[in-house]
Amino acid sequence: MDREYTVLLWWDDASEMWIAEVPGVPGVGAQGLTRDEAIQNAGDGLESILAYLRDEGSEIPDARSYEIARVRVPAPEMVAH
């Protein structure tokens, strides 16, 4: 039976790539030139990690859902030098 995991995505200006992270499975992340490529790469990495965990007899992480929230904070003041 297939499992569906949450993937977090964001654009990274430094690498000029999309970053994909699977919060339910520590260490699973990927990047790509497009959102779709980052998601595909994360899925490929996730499949590999889950197969490894299965083969080792380790527990397979639950495919939990996550809620994303935003919090607003005051911008830090710039200090003149």
The predicted model scores a pTM of 0.79
> Do residues 62 and 40 lie in contact, with contact meaning Cβ atoms separated by under 8 Å?
no
pLDDT, tens digit (0-9, with 9 covering 90-100), for 6-63: 999 999 999 999 999 999 998 899 999 999 999 999 999 999 999 999 999 999 998 8
Q: What is the dihedral of CA 67, 68, 69, 72, to 10 degrees?
A: 170
Q: Which two tokens stand for residue 26?
A: 């520590």
pLDDT in tens, 61-70: 988 778 888 9
C-beta neighbour count of 77 within 10 angstroms: 6
DSSP 15-56: TTEEEEE-TTSTT-EEEESSHHHHHHHHHHHHHHHHHHHHHH
